[in-house]
């Protein structure tokens, strides 16, 4: 019995000694691992942190200490490592990987078209815009090539349906429409005859009209005289073809004691302007206008009386016909046709021309007083006169160049000038210079009846075009 008790005490002693030695061992391990774990945290080594945390949990359980905080940290680090591995291609699996996003469909930017429609009705083509427009949106040119005449309208804008659109006016050989450039629509009229095309700008529209289409249709349908055709045209389409009930006063420059400029001291400006005025009167009366002349023979009329006469007749417009002149030094070079409207002179050239034309009647008021008056009178009519001068100049050039060629007829342009003959007119008024009488070739040309008739037709067409547009 005593032996058994001794052995029991010996076993307990050995066990206690072994436990104490084991505890000491794990305690040392635990403490060492803890230091290593803290070092891993400082150096941001995640894998080392996890390794040391696992050992701390194992050693802590051996030592029977609370290891919950180490276990929680281990779980947190384990999750982050797992997620990182999932995102890595080496560890990516079909079940975990996110589906690829389909690339977004790229929408093509829709072109913005400034022209909404192009509509044709009988002899009229209407171009509708998506916005308000002005005269800068259209450029008109006329030319002849071989047996064909071309009227070209270059329109600033883009039209989606330019290609499928077909334009055809009865009596016109061909009309072509196409988008020439990204922002330029081109409408081209082609015919064996010189078409009378005009255009009107109205807010967000451009209206193009062919004015002689009915006359051509009747010519093809009936073999009637020209006068009967014109009468029918006037009755049926009076408002468009021949604007009647308009009164025009034509002033033949100079006259009587005032001979004006001359060609070789034989042919005088006063006679040339009178002839042209008479031809112009006939052409305008054929078109249905009511026309008066400030003088019908070689007599002197004061400048102020000419506009008084126009006011008395309640004229809608006043046209003064003149021939230009240049000093001897420039006589062989200066040539061409010009159109002036009333305004204080803006250039030395305008002042020089005005000085020649104003010499006929400078009495009663000094030049400075007259120049001041120019800034007051007719201000409301200046814009209208400018438009009329442009139409007259364009048609004069076109008509003359058809006969004499482009090189021989120079475009002197539309200009502003302080012409005393225009002061006091209560209507839009224009002074036309039909050419330079001092030029060796042009001087002779403008003194011939053929030139005078042609230039009169050009002025008449310009006046007609002005009334249609305005």
Cα distance between residue 249 and residue 307, in whole Å: 9
What is the pLDDT averaged over residues 233-243? Answer: 38
Which residue did the predictor score with more confidence, 385 or 217?
385
Pick from 398, 455, 461, 441: which is nearest to 276 by CA?
455
Say whether 398 sits in a helix, a strand or coil: helix
pLDDT at site 405: 93
Residue 293 maps to a domain:
yes
Instruction: Name the residue among 210, 424, 192, 400 with its Cα closest to residue 303.
Output: 424
Q: What integer pLDDT is reported at residue 62 of this predicted model? A: 78
What is the count of structural domains for the chain? Answer: 3
What is the rounded average pLDDT of the residues 6-13? 56
- Mean pLDDT over each residue of the chain, to the nearest integer: 78
Q: Report yes or no on 98 lying in a domain.
A: no
Instruction: Provide φ and ψ at 57, rounded to 5°.
Output: -65, -45
What mean pLDDT is predicted for residues 254-276? 88
Q: In the block, which residue shows the tokens 């482009």?
A: 406
Measured between alpha carbons, how far is residue 274 from residues 144, 175, 281 in Å?
Answer: 32, 41, 11
Question: Looking at 149-153, 219-223, 341-345, which range is the least confident one?
Answer: 219-223
Q: Which pLDDT band holds residue 44 (cuts at 50, 70, 90)?
A: low
> Is residue 464, in this structure, part of any structural domain at all?
yes
Domain that holds residue 300: 242-469
Task: Name the 3-class secondary structure at 297.
Answer: coil
Q: Among residues 187, 132, 129, 131, which one has the least CA distance to residue 154?
A: 187
Residue with tokens 């289409």: 213
> Both 332 and 444 in a single domain?
yes
**Same domain for 455 and 357?**
yes
CATH number at residue 163: 2.60.40.3500
40 is a domain residue = yes
Say how far apart CA 221 and CA 206 lie, in whole Å.
Answer: 31
Whichever domain contains 265, its CATH number is 3.40.630.40
The contacts of residue 141 (CB under 8 Å, 6+ apart) are: 151, 152, 154
Is 319 in the same domain as 382?
yes
Burial class (CB in 10 A: 0-12, 13-18, 19+), 267: middle
Q: Are residues 50 and 119 in the same domain?
A: no
Cα 87 to Cα 89: distance, rounded to the nearest angstrom: 6
Residue 52, token pair as written in the block: 């040391």
Q: Is residue 384 part of a domain?
A: yes
Is the domain of 379 the same as that of 273?
A: yes
Q: Is residue 107 part of a domain?
A: no
Check residue 157 and give its pLDDT: 93
For 342, the 3-state DSSP assignment is: strand
**In the predicted structure, residue 164 carries a pLDDT above the cut 70:** yes
Nearest to 430 by CA among 311, 343, 341: 341
Contact call for residues 55 and 71 (beta carbons, < 8 A) = no
Same domain membership, residue 328 and residue 438 = yes
Are 339 and 190 part of one and the same domain? no
Instruction: Say what the pLDDT of residue 349 is.
Output: 54
- Mean pLDDT, to the nearest integer, of 90-110? 47
Closest-CA residue to 299 (of 274, 265, 263):
274
* Whether residue 344 is found in the same domain as residue 274: yes
Residue 295 shares a structural domain with residue 350: yes
Residue 4 lies in a domain: no
CA torsion 56-61-63-69 (nearest 10°) is 50
User: Do 248 and 395 fall into the same domain?
Assistant: yes
Which pLDDT tens digit goes with each residue over 81-96? 544 554 444 434 444 4
Regarding whether 383 and 305 lie in a shared domain, the answer is: yes
The angle formed by the CA atoms of residues 47, 49 and 54, to the nearest 5 degrees, is 100
Residue 208 to residue 59: CA distance in whole angstroms: 102
Q: Number of H helices and number of E strands within the chain? A: 13, 16
In a domain, 78, yes or no: yes
């Amino acid at each position: 019995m005593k032996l058994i008790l001794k052995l029991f005490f010996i076993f307990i002693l050995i066990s206690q000694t072994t436990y104490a030695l084991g505890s000491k061992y794990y305690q040392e391990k635990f403490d060492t691992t803890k230091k290593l774990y803290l070092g891993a945290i400082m150096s941001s080594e995640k894998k080392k942190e996890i390794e040391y945390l696992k050992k701390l949990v194992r050693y802590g359980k051996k030592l029977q200490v609370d290891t919950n905080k180490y276990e929680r940290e281990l779980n947190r680090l384990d999750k982050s490592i797992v997620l990182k591995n999932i995102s890595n291609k080496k560890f990516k699996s079909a079940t975990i990987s996110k589906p690829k996003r389909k690339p977004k469909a790229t929408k093509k930017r829709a072109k913005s078209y400034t022209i909404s429609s192009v509509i044709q009705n009988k002899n009229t083509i209407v171009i509708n815009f998506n916005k308000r427009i002005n005269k800068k949106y259209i450029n008109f040119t006329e030319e002849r090539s071989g047996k064909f005449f071309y009227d070209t309208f270059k329109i600033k804008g883009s039209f989606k349906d330019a290609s499928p659109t077909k334009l055809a006016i009865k009596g016109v050989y061909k009309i072509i429409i196409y988008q020439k450039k990204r922002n330029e629509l081109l409408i081209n009229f082609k015919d064996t005859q010189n078409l009378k095309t005009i255009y009107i700008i109205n807010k967000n529209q451009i209206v193009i009209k062919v004015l002689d289409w009915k006359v051509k249709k009747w010519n093809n349908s009936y073999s009637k005289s020209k006068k009967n055709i014109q009468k029918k045209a006037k009755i049926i389409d009076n408002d468009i073809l021949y604007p009647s009930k308009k009164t025009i006063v034509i002033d033949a420059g100079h006259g009587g004691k005032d001979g004006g400029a001359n060609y070789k001291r034989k042919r005088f400006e006063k006679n040339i302007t009178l002839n042209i005025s008479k031809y112009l009167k006939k052409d305008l009366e054929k078109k249905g206008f009511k026309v008066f002349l400030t003088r019908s023979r070689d007599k002197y009329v004061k400048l102020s009386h000419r506009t008084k006469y126009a006011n008395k007749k309640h004229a809608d417009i006043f046209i003064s016909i003149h021939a230009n002149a240049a000093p001897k030094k420039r006589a062989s070079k200066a040539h061409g046709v010009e159109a002036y409207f009333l305004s204080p002179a803006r250039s030395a050239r305008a002042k020089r021309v005005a000085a020649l034309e104003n010499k006929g009647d400078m009495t009663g008021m000094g030049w400075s007083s007259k120049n001041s008056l120019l800034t007051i009178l007719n201000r409301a009519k200046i814009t209208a006169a400018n438009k009329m001068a442009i139409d007259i100049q364009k048609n004069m050039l076109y008509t003359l160049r058809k006969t004499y060629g482009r090189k021989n007829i120079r475009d002197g342009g539309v200009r502003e000038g302080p012409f005393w003959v225009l002061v006091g007119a209560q209507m839009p008024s224009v002074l036309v210079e039909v050419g330079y009488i001092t030029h060796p070739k042009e001087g002779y040309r403008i003194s011939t009846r053929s030139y005078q008739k042609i230039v009169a037709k050009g002025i008449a067409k310009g006046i007609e075009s002005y009334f249609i547009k305005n």
